[in-house]
Chains A and B, each alone.
Chain A
Amino acid sequence: MPPPDPILDRQSIEQLAEQGYLPGPLFDRALTLAGIVPDGARWRQFLDRLLLIAGCTFIAAAIIFFIAYNWQEMGRFLKFGLLEAALVLSVAASIAWRNDPLRRQASLLLTVLLVGPLLALVGQTYQTGADTYELFLAWAALSLPWAFLAAWRPVWCWWVSIANAALWLYFAEVGLLGWWVPLIFATHHIVLSLLTANALLLILAEWAGRRGWISGRFHTLERLLALLVIGAATFLHLLFLFERIGVPEWLWLIALATYIIVWAAYRWGRLDVVILSMWATAVIVVILCTVGKQVLKGRDEAAGFLLLGILAIGLSAAAALWLRRLSQHAAAKAQEAL
């Protein structure tokens, strides 16, 4: 059911204007009243946040490029000194701004960003012989305390990316060691590991989020992890469909269980239409691939392609209808909560 008195967004106001109810100046005024065209204070707040986060990211990038460009001219002490000074300063800034959450969290984001280049510098200077995955693993491990201190979704999103890179590179690099390794780590083992690791992290993120232990808007961490989990489940299902040799039968059951759990958790637990939208996309892709494998086997390819095209249109339209209703339901709930 749509809410009786809906909260207005740009599209609703544009729709009123298209219908001729808001000519010229009234349209601009409606946008300002609805807060869609921001006032001076909101512009200042937005620029403040943007410049703070962009500044932290650019400082990290600038230090990396400065060292890389002047690699020959700079001695090892200068390189280490520069990176470590930036690291110490970022931690000091986070302590100095302990009463200003955003600045403290942005400083800790810089700390997490700088840990990786420092480890890479150690590896390059002393030729430790470490594999790339070890760099990312150490980066993830050493960043963990800072991520806990920041308790901020953007920092955790970065940490999740580093941890996933470490896991992926581990399998990729260990897989290069010898002919026997593929017997131990087949593609489905890699995807299954990523699925398990990200599913566990998603459960932890939801748990921490409900207790208010992590801040940040839009549930970005949960959505990133859900995307990785749904992506891995879809990949497993496609492996089962198209690579039957050496792929166990139970893989599709794991993918199916993942879809059911994700649907139940985000439909009946915490309603998150963005995650359900990812879920719907994955389910449609899996249905299309399953049907496609059957119908494109025969001689009548034209009928098969037409069926798949119609199925894609029908399923996505049905999913859009369902998700739109859920979105209205979520909007109504949010309105009630105000």
Chain B
Amino acid sequence: MKPLTYTDLIAALQNENPDFQPPPTHPTAEVRTPWYLRVMLGFIGILGGCFILGFFGAVLSNLYRNTPSQLILSALLFALASAIYRRWRHSDLADQFALVMSITGQILIAIAFGNLWQSEPALGSLLLALLQIGLIILMPNALHRLLSTLVALLALGYA
């Protein structure tokens, strides 16, 4: 099957629907993120998240022992990531920054859940899965949604 170009599609749609209003410009290929780019960005994003977590751990000396701090910091990081995703759509730098912030928050909240539900790890995992579903809704980014889905499935499997 011959691949369909933008002009072919507009012509076909106009032919079938005379009322169809074509867009003034064709979609910019700039925003396309092929799967191999998502793998690269996801992998480096996780690595970057670990470094930022190391930074917070070094600045706030008792961060890893203080569950409320972990919860507050992760909520702030999620809010920051969500705001960046919504404000600067389709910017690689902003997207990657938001992804790293969100991953840092997710690692922190996973540690907090681990502390809170030490005796009931299944409940902690279930809540982590629910949190990921919330993040899928909150973060308007395909790569973030893919990663959240994977983590949610892993957490559900563990629960």
Contacts and interface: CB of A to CB of B under 8 A. Distances in A.
Contact of A305 (B29, B41, B51): B51
Interface string B20-54: 11110011111111101101110111011101101
A277 B5 CA distance: 26
Contact of B17 (A26, A302, A321, A328): A26
Given A6-B6, A313-B97, A288 B47 contact: yes
Interface residues of B, number: 50
A305 B55 contact: yes
Contact of A277 (B6, B8, B16, B39): B39
Interface in B74-97: 92-93, 95-97
A327 interface: yes
Main SS class of interface, B: helix
B51 A312 contact: yes
Nearest to A280: B40
Interface of B: 1-9, 12-13, 16-17, 20-23, 26-34, 36-37, 39-41, 43-45, 47-49, 51-52, 54-55, 57-59, 92-93, 95-97, 100
Contacts of A305: 51-52, 54-55, 57-58
Interface in A1-19: 2-3, 5-9, 11-13, 15-16, 19
Of all A-B residue pairs in the complex, the 3 with the closest CB atoms, nearest first, are A312-B48, A302-B58, A305-B54
A2 B9 contact: no
Contacts of B5: 5-8, 335
B139 to A, nearest CB: 16
A274 B36 contact: yes
A205 to B, nearest CB: 19
A288 B7 CA distance: 44
B36 A321 contact: no
B37 A277 contact: yes
Interface stretch (A29-37, A52-60, A111-119, A123-131): A29-37
Interface in A290-338: 301-302, 305-306, 308-309, 312-321, 323-324, 327-328, 331, 335, 338
Task: Classify chain A: how many residues form its interface, as a range.
Answer: 35 or more
A241 interface: no
Contacts of B93: 313-314, 317
Given A313-B93, A335-B5, A320 B34 contact: no
Contact of A35 (B1, B7, B28, B44): B1
Given A5-B5, A317-B92, A15 B40 contact: no
Contact of A338 (B2, B26, B54, B92): B2
A21 interface: yes
Contact of A316 (B3, B7, B44, B55): B44
Contact of B34 (A7, A8, A21, A327): A327
A284 interface: yes
Contacts of A277: 36-37, 39-40
A48 B52 CA distance: 48
A284 B22 CA distance: 42
B44 A284 contact: yes
A299 to B, nearest CB: 10
A177 B30 CA distance: 56
10 contacts: A5-B5, A6-B26, A26-B13, A277-B37, A285-B47, A301-B58, A305-B52, A309-B100, A315-B44, A328-B29
Given A26-B20, A30-B9, A312 B47 contact: yes
Contacts of A312: 44-45, 47-48, 51, 100
A17 to B, nearest CB: 10
A274 B28 CA distance: 21
A33 B4 contact: yes
Given A281-B44, A314-B93, A316-B45, A338 B52 contact: no
B55 to A, nearest CB: 4
A24 to B, nearest CB: 12
A318 B40 CA distance: 12
Contacts of B49: 309
Contact of B41 (A9, A278, A316): A316
Nearest to B22: A21
